[in-house]
Every structure is written in structure tokens, then in C-alpha cells.
């Protein structure tokens, strides 16, 4: 009897091993997506799982109106801002947040919440909300089968978080202030040993700022690197933008002289063309 009991016990111990099964690699119903989008002076990161309709109706059915939704499937959707931004005029510090929504037929509520570790929205606590903003949904002409959350309409200081699923699309505008950050960087860098003369001058040119200090920085760069054509080219561009055409022609002509020594035929041809464009814009005689 004892021998039989021992055999039974041994069989029970071996059962899990005997019943172990090979793990299959099966396509997930709601695959996880990670997006890293350069934005302003930093980035926006998104991590979420993408559910599909599979013959269902998304909003008002699968996702009931008026309830907190995880903005995807599985674990909570997460958004991380690399710098402070504003959403609907409200400041949002840099950092990671849970991104949720409360859909409704005529108006959605977007929510940023501090609890990024929650699974779904089952343990959602409104007390941990950082932000709540409203947005109007629009109806799409054709249904979107798989839910999409993307960063669209990128500008230096703005972008849109766009949610699209079924026949519904909702846009959440995000605003940054890169100029404040870049100007602070320039002011600090110009106190150091390695001054970013050219990059700072390029920023002033592209941002439409007063070009007088920028031309002074290029003069300092040219003084340190008198045989390089790059500084002369950018000085010519800035002078031409200021309407100082004769000075621009002189700088572009000097750049063209120096570019002849470039052994890289690709960059040589490129900066020959670019300088010729500046000369033409400044009204130089051919």
C-alpha cells in the first residue's frame, strides 16, 4: 500500500512536467507600439497597445461613453514629454504620464495622470490627475480598423497628438517654447570656451531675429578659421537677408574662392551652387 502511495505521489509530482507545452509565438490581438518623435528641443514618447475593431463598434459600444478609457488596450497608455509643454494653455512639466480619455459623442476629455504603472484604467484615481482638457471629435469618412495614436502636424513649437479609431478622430494640440530654451542655451554657451558661433547664427537667421549679433559671431568664427568657406557663406546669407547686398556679394565671392580647395567633390559642388544662389539674390553681375 505504501509503495502504491509513493508511486501516486511521484506521478503527481511529475504531472506538471509531463504536461508542459511548447510556447507558441502568436500574433497579439493588440500589438504594443512605441513612438519616439523628436519635438521642439527634445521629444515626445508614446507607448500603447493597438486594439482592432474585428467587427465591433468602438465608441458607445466597446468603449462606453462617459467612462475612463486607457487609450488603447492592455496596460495604460503612456506619454513622456522631454521638456515642459502646454496643453490647452495649461503647463505640463517634463516627465512621463498615463494618457487616458473619457469619450463622448460630442466631446472628449483627455486626462494626464501620474500613475503610469496601472494596468488598464481599473485602478484609475482622479486625485492623481495632472491635467484634464476637452476636445471635439470629428467623424471620418472611412473606418480605421486598428486604433492609432500618432504625433502629427509637427512644427518647431507645436504638434498634435491624434487619436483615430473606427470613424472617430480626436486631436490634442501640444505647444512648446523652444525659443526660450534655445536663447538660454546660446546665452550660456557664449560664456564658455567653445562658442557655437555658426549654429547660433543659423538659429537667428531661421528664427527671424535681429541678425546684427549673429553677423558678429560669424566674424569671430571667420577670424578663427580664415581658410574655411563655411563662415563666409553664412555671413553672405545673413547680409543678403539684411539687404546689404554689396557686403553679401563680397562674402559669397570669398567663400567661392575658398571652396575651390575642397577635396570633397560633393560638398564642393554643393557650396558652389549655394554661394551662386546668394550672389544671384544679392544682384551680382554674372
Domain of 217 in residue numbering reads as 179-281
Are residue 110 and residue 237 in the same domain, yes or no? Answer: no
Residues 186-194, mean pLDDT to the nearest whole number: 96
Contact 151, 160 (CB under 8 A): yes
**How many domains does one find in the chain?**
2
Are residue 188 and residue 142 in the same domain, yes or no? Answer: no
Q: Which of 8-17, 22-31, 92-101 has the highest mean pLDDT?
A: 92-101
pLDDT reading at 10 higher than 60: no
d(CA 203, CA 189): 14
Are residue 51 and residue 132 in the same domain, yes or no? Answer: yes
pLDDT digits (tens, 9 = 90+) for 48-87: 999 999 999 999 999 999 999 999 999 999 999 999 999 9
User: What secondary structure letter does DSSP report for 30?
Assistant: S
**Structure confidence at residue 285 (pLDDT):** 81
Are residue 167 and residue 37 in the same domain, yes or no? Answer: yes
Are residue 36 and residue 172 in the same domain, yes or no? Answer: yes
5: CB partners within 8 A, 6+ apart: none
User: Is 4 domain-assigned?
Assistant: no
Are residue 61 and residue 163 in the same domain, yes or no? Answer: yes
Residues 237-264, mean pLDDT to the nearest whole number: 96
Of 128, 153, 176, the position where a domain reaches its end is 176
Confidence of residue 284 (pLDDT cuts 50, 70, 90): confident
Of 113, 144, 176, the position where a domain reaches its end is 176
Are residue 205 and residue 265 in the same domain, yes or no? Answer: yes
From residue 69, alpha-carbon distances to 26, 38, 186, 197 in Å are: 26, 27, 43, 49
Residues 221-226, mean pLDDT to the nearest whole number: 96
Of 146, 176, 206, the position where a domain reaches its end is 176
% of the chain surpassing 70 pLDDT: 93
User: How confident is the prediction for the chain on average, in pLDDT?
Assistant: 93
Are residue 44 and residue 134 in the same domain, yes or no? Answer: yes
% of the chain surpassing 90 pLDDT: 90
Residues 159-184, mean pLDDT to the nearest whole number: 98
Are residue 152 and residue 274 in the same domain, yes or no? Answer: no
**Structure confidence at residue 28 (pLDDT):** 94
Tell which wins on pLDDT, 120 or 8. Answer: 120
d(CA 21, CA 92): 48
Are residue 60 and residue 167 in the same domain, yes or no? Answer: yes
Indicate the pTM of the whole model.
Answer: 0.84
**Structure confidence at residue 16 (pLDDT):** 53
Q: In what order do the strands lie in the sheet with 95-102?
A: 32-39, 42-49, 73-81, 95-102, 108-113, 129-135
Amino acid at each position: 500500500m505504501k509503495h502504491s502511495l509513493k508511486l501516486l505521489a511521484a506521478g503527481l509530482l511529475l504531472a506538471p512536467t509531463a504536461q508542459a507545452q511548447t510556447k507558441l509565438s502568436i500574433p497579439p490581438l493588440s500589438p504594443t507600439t512605441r513612438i519616439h518623435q523628436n519635438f521642439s528641443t527634445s521629444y515626445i514618447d508614446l507607448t500603447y497597445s493597438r486594439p482592432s475593431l474585428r467587427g465591433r463598434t468602438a465608441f458607445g459600444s466597446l468603449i462606453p461613453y462617459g467612462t475612463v478609457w486607457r487609450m488603447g488596450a492592455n496596460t495604460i497608455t503612456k506619454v513622456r514629454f522631454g521638456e515642459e509643454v502646454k496643453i490647452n494653455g495649461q503647463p505640463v512639466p517634463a516627465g512621463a504620464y498615463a494618457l487616458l480619455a473619457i469619450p463622448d459623442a460630442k466631446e472628449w476629455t483627455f486626462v494626464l495622470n501620474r500613475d503610469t504603472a496601472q494596468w488598464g484604467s481599473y485602478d484609475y484615481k482622479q486625485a492623481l490627475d495632472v491635467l484634464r482638457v476637452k476636445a471635439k471629435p470629428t467623424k471620418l469618412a472611412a473606418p480605421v480598423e486598428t486604433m492609432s495614436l500618432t504625433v502629427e502636424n509637427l512644427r518647431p513649437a507645436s504638434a498634435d497628438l491624434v487619436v483615430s479609431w473606427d470613424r472617430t478622430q480626436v486631436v490634442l494640440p501640444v505647444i512648446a517654447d523652444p525659443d526660450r530654451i534655445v536663447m538660454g542655451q546660446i546665452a550660456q554657451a557664449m560664456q564658455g570656451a567653445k562658442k557655437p558661433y555658426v549654429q547660433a547664427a543659423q538659429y537667428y537667421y531661421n528664427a527671424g531675429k535681429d541678425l546684427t549679433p549673429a553677423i558678429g559671431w560669424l566674424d569671430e568664427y571667420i577670424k578663427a578659421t580664415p581658410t574655411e568657406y563655411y563662415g563666409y557663406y553664412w555671413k553672405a546669407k545673413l547680409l543678403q537677408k539684411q539687404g546689404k547686398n554689396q557686403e553679401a556679394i563680397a562674402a559669397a565671392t570669398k567663400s567661392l574662392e575658398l571652396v575651390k580647395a575642397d577635396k570633397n567633390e560633393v560638398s564642393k559642388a554643393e557650396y558652389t551652387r549655394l554661394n551662386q544662389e546668394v550672389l544671384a539674390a544679392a544682384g551680382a553681375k554674372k
